[in-house]
Every structure is written in C-alpha cells, then in structure tokens.
Structure 1
Amino acid sequence: MVASTHGTLLEPVQHRGREALDRLGFPTRSQEPWRFTNLSRLKAVGELPVIEADPLSDLPDVPQSGLRLLIGSGADSLEGVELPDGINALNLDQLKLALGSTLHRCGCSNDWPVELNHASSRQVLALRISGKVPPLELVIGASGQGLLSTRVLLLLEEKAELDLLQVFRADSGAAHSHLCEVVLGQESRLQHGVLSLGDGSGSLLTTLATQQEPRSQYELTTVFQGWSFGRVEPRVLQLDGQAKTSIKGLAVTTEDQQLAIHSGMRFDGPEGELDQLQKSLASGRSHAIFNGSIQVPRAAQRTNAAQLSRNLLLSTKARIDTKPELEIIADDVRCAHGATVSQLQEDELFYLRSRGITETEATSLLLRGYCQEVINQLPVQAERWRPLEQVQKELSR
C-alpha cells in the first residue's frame, strides 16, 4: 500500500506556495472577491503556526458498510487500513501527474487560500476509485491555537460510483486550511457531502475543485455552522459538457461570526446542467456572504442552469450579502438566477401559535423545515453526526 504522506513531493509545492504568498501580497478590500471579508480574522489565520491533529474523541460509530479515514494527524491516514476493492492509493508517479491539475483547470490554483495551503500542507490523501465502492467518510479535526492544513485528491474512473462524506471538526480556536480535488470520469457519479462543525471559535478556509467529464454526475451538499470565520469555495468545471451538477448549501452564522461562500461553475461544452441552491441563516451580529458565479462560454450551447440564493435574517443586527453572477456568451441556453433575503413569515408563526404552539417552538419548527431541505441531501451516513440537531443547537445559542 502506498502511504498518504508524500513529503518529498510536497516540499517543492510548499516552497512555491511561500513564494506565491510573498508575490501575491495579502488580500485587500479593493479586490472584489475580498470586498466583504473580515481581513483581520483572515490575517490571524495566516499567522498561525502549522499543527497536526490530535486524535479525535467522541466520534459516532464507524459506518458498518463503509470506510472511515482520519486525516491531519502525523500518522499516515492509510496505515493499518485495508482498503476495499475498488479503492486504491495513488503511487508517487500517478500523484505527480494529477496533483494540482484540477485546481489549474478550475482557475483557482493561484488564489490566496490555495497558496496558503500549498505553503503549509505536509500530507495528501490520494485515492483512485473504480466501480461501485462502499461509502467513504473522511474526518478532519483540530484543536488548539494553530493551523491544520490538509489535502485530498480523488480520481473516479469511468462509471465509478462513490458516496463521500467529509466532516470538519474544530475547537479551542483551531483553524483549518483544506484543498479537495476531484476528477470525475465519464458516466461516473459522486455524492459529496461536507459537514463542517465548529465550536464557534475556529476558522475554516477550504477550496473544493471538481472537474467533470461527459455524462458524469456530481452532487455536492455542504452544511457549515459554528465557525468564527470561514471562507468556502466550491469550483466546478464541466470539461466537455453533457454532465449534471447539483450544488446544495446551508450556512449558519450566529453571534459575531462571518462565513462566506464563493462558488464558481463553468461549462466548457454543450448540454450541461446545473441545479444550485444556497441557503443562509444569520443571527446575532453575524455576517453571511454568498457569491455565485456561472460562466457559459460560446461552446456551451443548450446549457440548462439554475441558481437560487435564499437567506433568512434572524436578527436586526445580522447582515447578509448575496451576489449571483451570470456570464453568458452562448446564445442557446436556459439560465436563471434569483436571490431573496427575508425574515420568518409572521403569518406562518401566527398559524402555529394559534394552534397552541409557543413562539419559541414555532420558530424552531420553521427553522427546522428551512434547514432540512438541504440537510436531507447529505449522504445517508451523515445521519450519525446528527447535523440537524447540531444546527438547531447553534441557532439557540
């Protein structure tokens, strides 16, 4: 078995990452992608020492029909693990060819958060998937005053099928930097869930870069809550069209937290499909941000794309900024986008209260239904992490 630690390969990547950070300089508010960002919190993340993850406790039972891997500790994630048929570790030569390719194709290889990860990552978990395999759960946890940098690369061969759940945990002010690259071969399918559970004091910077070949299906569902500061960047590229992409997201901010979702979708061929829904809930003095970009060049005729940003303000002091973007060059397309920012509907609250339900219970029921639409799209193994209860606990703080 090939180890998931590739120190020799990553040393030049770290060197180039440090040089790139010096060349890029620190982001400023004059740069559009960083206009709303709390730069003091971003700077604090960049100045943290790099740490390794402590062994995690209080985890749900290992899935009976799947595989769990722990990422980020000094130990090799694959040490002592017997991989099921259809899941194989990439060797060094294969990794040299594949690492960073999807980031480059998605146009984010030189972004500041990506270069921060390049400069600090010491390990990469790189797997090849063939056929239909058991569910895979990747758990990444950190605690203490430091930055945990992790990296994952997944290659799905033609007609491969995988249910993947990534779980992020953090406490005591720890910060995450994470890169995930995914390559979907023709007619492959990936159900990708990201469940991100902080204690309200940590930070999270993550880029999820995915490239799809024709007739592949990518279903991404993200749930983020409990982060003092976070920036999440899903980037998807349909290489030659005729692929399907579904992106569902839920972001929850409370107290004085800030969480930004910056998604990018590009169609480089005809007859591609996208169904995107991003939901945000902001309470206290928190700030939720969504920027969703869709690019449809001339080659992407007969594209069918829909993007909707739905947001709930739960406090008069909370703030939500949402900015859908469409760049369409092709002339035979169906593209739609919309954005709403609202509060809980008084008539719905009145209806529930008129039937003997207290205001607190009525609010909880409405928020539960609002969140459940996205949470229900997570891979089935996410149920063991009780995501809905975690979100409701966060909103009641």
Structure 2
Amino acid sequence: MAASLAAPSGPATAWLTPWLAQLPPPAGDLAAVQQRGRRALAEQPLPGGRDEAWRFTDLSLLAKLPLDPATAAEPLPALPPEQPEVLRLQLDGVSDPLAGLSLPAGLTPLNASELAQGLGHTLAATGCQHHWPVELNHATAGRVLALRVASRARVRLELVSSQPAALLPLRLLLVLEEKAELELSQLLLAEQPGLTSLVLEAHLARSARLEHGLVALGMPQAALLGQIAVEQEPESAVALTAVTAGWGLARLEPRLSQVDGQAHSTLRGLQLVDGRQIADTHSHVHFGGPEGQLDQLHKAVAAGQGRSVFNGAVRVPRAAQRTNAAQLSRNLLLSDRARIDTKPELEIVADDVKCAHGATVSSLQTEELFYLQSRGIDADQAAGLLKRAFCEEVLRQLPAPARACCPPERLQLDLP
C-alpha cells in the first residue's frame, strides 16, 4: 500500500494553511482544476532541503510576500513599440486577453472540449503534473490562454505581464499542428512585492517549430516560479531561451519530451543574481526514440551574495539510439561571497549515442581587463564590456520583441 503524503507542517510552512483557507471559492472554467490544486497543496509538504531537487532553493521569501490572487489588471510600464506582424497581448490573470481582438490568420482559440482534452496532458507527459509550483498554479489560476496554430501557418506573438502586489498566476496551452511555426516572445515584469506563477504547456506536431523567448525582470521582494513543458513529435524543433534578472527568488523548470525521437531541441538560459537573490534552473530532457538532438547552453552571472543553481538532466533510454546531445554550463563569479552550484547530468542507457556535458566557473580575467584598459577604457567600463560579451551568446538567441525588452542597461551589465 502506498504511503500517504504528510501534511505541511513546521514554521517554514506555517503560512500555507491559512493562505489556502482564505482563497476565494473555485470558480470559472478552471474551477475543478483549482479544487484539485488546493487539495494537493494541503496534502503534500512544501519542498525543502530534504528534497534533492530543492535543497539549494530557499522558499522562505514566499512567507513574506502578498499572495492574494490578483483581482485587477496592473498597468504596463513603457514598452518598446510593437513590431510589425507581431500580436501583443497582456496577460493579467483576470481579464480575457483576446477580448475584442481579431487574431491573425492561422491562430485560433481552443474550444471547451479541446481545452478539457489538452490541459494538463503535456504536464503529465513530461512528469511534472504534481510538482509543487504546478499545483500552486492549479490552485489559483482562473484563466488559461489556450491557442492553436494551424498547419503551415506562421504566427508571431508577444505576451506581456506586470505583476501587482499580489499573486499573478499565468496559464498557457499551445497546440502547434503539423508544420506550424510560432515565434513567442514573453515578458514578465515585477516592480512590486509578490509572486508570479507561470505554467506553459506546448504540444508540437510533426515538423512544427516553436521559438520561445522568455525575459523575466523582477525585484528583490518578488518571486517567480515557472514551469515550461513541451512535447515534440518527430521532425519538430523547439528553441527555448530564458533570461532572468533581479528576482529575490526565481526558479524555472523547462521539461521537454521527444515523444518518438527524431526531433531537435535547443535550450538557452541566462540568469543574473546580485545581493541575496536566488536563481534556480532545473531542466529535464527525455528522448523517447532514436535520432533526437539537443543543444543546451546555460549561463549565470553571480555578484554580491547572490546564488545561482543549475541542474540539467538528460535521459537517453535504450530506445533512443543515435541520440546527439550536448549540454554546457558556463558561469561567471564576480564576488567571493556569491555562490554557483551547477550539475549537468546525463543518464544514458542506449549504446549508440553522441552525448557530452561540461561545466565551468570563472571570474573576469585579469588579462582581458588589462587589454581593454590599455586601450583607454576605464576599469568599470572594461568589466561591463566583458560581462556583456559573456551574456550576448544567450541574448542574441531571443526573438526580436523579447530582446528589445532587455537592453544591457536594464540587466545592469554595465555595473562592476
């Protein structure tokens, strides 16, 4: 008989039970999902140091944040102009982002039966449907943006969100039909204390292509918990690029499953921490068949007393012969009080594969600084240029609308 999950207890989780009790009653299209999520949160313990996947992630900040669900849209700050042929939508967790809009050709909302069939399917397929951040989103999200990209259509979409002094739960479901193409730029902003919870599911049919660029810019009194789950059918391609900076706590979990192999996955990540900030990325890629490809690069810049965590898991079972996977973690340590924990991880059962992984941690090189200073560039500018160059390898992979929202000065790359 399976053992039952222990209920949350102890000072670290004392806030959770009263918070669940004061949530408004489940309502709307996601009422059943909300009910299941709240039940799950009440039954399973808050992740902590005894859980290997969470042992470096301190969730104590959550107890200090305003976590009432958002009830009104937050005004957006000034943003770069919309780019041609890009549809910009505001996601606020409250209003319908599609109200009054004419969608571009090839992009349609999922109907109720399609939503019921598809919601949660990719979370289950990638093994994260019961992860604590997912259940938190389930318990609170009242809306879902569910879209289909038609076969052979090419769509460019930009999603922007500004977190109020509250909990902002965002839920997305994307279905890409055969040979469909979607360029998705996503901007998450937090200029007030609170929590942004993101759950994104995407299913790619044969030969479909998804390019997703996520830029998340926060503040030390704000937290981000993000889950990105992607299913890939053969000959599909996905490119995920994520940039996080400024959050007191930021945790992203991209999980990809190549259902029958013969697909291509590209992962790019950049996290910047300073002060006492924590940025944590846990990625997981599973190859369900032969001839799959993975190209993954994760970078981090840690200053002050910031902490960067990266755990990249790649699973290559016996069925995944002729897999070609490369994973690299490169990190820049700018303070002797900052910390970087990195663990690229390969689990290979197949015997005909090309798989490699590696990790490096370094500081700004004295020789490079000296070279720039010898050309008349002062020390602070030289350090800024080297940091920009280090980050540029990831930043240049963002779709144009996402990149326009994170110029170097906004990422504080000019600071020593």
Q: Which TM-score band applies after superposition, normalised by the shorter structure?
A: over 0.9
TM-superposed deviation, 1:388 = 2.7
Partner letter of residue 352 of structure 1? L
Instruction: Pick one of 390, 395, 400 that aligns with 1:380.
Output: 400
Instruction: Pick one of 158, 164, 184 that aligns with 2:178.
Output: 158
Corresponding residue SS for 2:289: coil
Contact 1:201/1:226 (<8 A) preserved:
no
Distance 1:387 1:302 in 2: 40
Query: How big is each residue's C-alpha offset from its partner over 1:221-264, in whole Å with a ceiling of 9 and x where there is no partner?
Result: 11111101111100000000000000011000011101100111
TM-superposed deviation, 1:42 = 4.1
Partner residue of 1:136? 157
Distance 1:378 1:7 in 2: 36
Distance 2:50 2:273 in 1: 25
Partner residue of 2:266? 246
Distance 2:94 2:393 in 1: 38
Corresponding residue SS for 2:30: helix
Tell whether 2:359 aligns with 1:339. yes
Of the structure 1 ranges 379-388 and 261-270, higher mean CA displacement relative to structure 2 is found in 379-388
TM-superposed deviation, 1:133 = 2.5
Partner residue of 1:51? 70
Query: How big is each residue's C-alpha offset from its partner over 1:84-131, in whole Å with a ceiling of 9 and x where there is no partner?
Result: 110000010000000000000000000000000000101000000012
Query: How big is each residue's C-alpha offset from its partner over 1:271-307, in whole Å with a ceiling of 9 and x where there is no partner?
Result: 0000000000000111110011000111101000000
Instruction: Pick one of 306, 311, 333 that aligns with 1:286.
Output: 306
* Correspondence list, 1:308-387, <5 A: 308-387=328-407
Unaligned ranges ≥5, structure 1: 1-5
TM-score, reference length from structure 2: 0.91
Distance 1:229 1:64 in 2: 34
C-alpha change, 1:106 and 1:43, in structure 2 (3 Å) is farther
Tell whether 2:195 aligns with 1:185. no
Instruction: Pick one of 269, 273, 289 that aligns with 1:269.
Output: 289
Contact 1:375/1:387 (<8 A) preserved:
no
Distance 1:77 1:250 in 2: 28
Contact 2:70/2:94 (<8 A) preserved:
no
Contact 1:55/1:73 (<8 A) preserved:
no
Query: How big is each residue's C-alpha offset from its partner over 1:160-193, in whole Å with a ceiling of 9 and x where there is no partner?
Result: 0111101101112121001000011100111110
Corresponding residue SS for 1:107: coil
Distance 2:48 2:404 in 1: 41
Partner residue of 2:230? 210
Distance 2:303 2:265 in 1: 30
* Correspondence list, 1:91-102, <5 A: 91-102=111-122
Contact 2:147/2:174 (<8 A) preserved:
yes
Partner residue of 1:80? 100
Partner letter of residue 264 of structure 2? K
TM-superposed deviation, 1:27 = 1.4
Contact 1:132/1:160 (<8 A) preserved:
yes
RMSD, aligned CA? 1.5
Distance 1:14 1:343 in 2: 46
Distance 1:354 1:119 in 2: 58
Contact 1:371/1:388 (<8 A) preserved:
no
TM-superposed deviation, 1:389 = 2.9
Of the structure 1 ranges 53-62 and 110-119, higher mean CA displacement relative to structure 2 is found in 53-62
Instruction: Pick one of 249, 253, 260 that aligns with 1:229.
Output: 249
Q: Percent identity at matched positions?
A: 49
Matched residue count? 389
Partner letter of residue 259 of structure 1? A
Corresponding residue SS for 2:197: strand
TM-superposed deviation, 1:308 = 0.3
Contact 1:67/1:135 (<8 A) preserved:
yes
Distance 2:283 2:380 in 1: 34
Partner letter of residue 163 of structure 2? A
TM-score, reference length from structure 1: 0.95
TM-superposed deviation, 1:75 = 1.6
Corresponding residue SS for 1:61: coil
Query: How big is each residue's C-alpha offset from its partner over 1:293-345, in whole Å with a ceiling of 9 and x where there is no partner?
Result: 00011110100000000001111110110011111111111110001111011
TM-superposed deviation, 1:200 = 3.3
Distance 1:154 1:7 in 2: 23
Instruction: Pick one of 147, 157, 176 that aligns with 2:167.
Output: 147
Partner letter of residue 105 of structure 2? D
Distance 2:258 2:143 in 1: 28
Partner letter of residue 214 of structure 2? V
Contact 1:368/1:392 (<8 A) preserved:
no
Distance 2:130 2:403 in 1: 36
Distance 2:284 2:349 in 1: 16
C-alpha change, 1:261 and 1:10, in structure 2 (3 Å) is same
Partner residue of 2:324? 304
Contact 2:93/2:169 (<8 A) preserved:
no
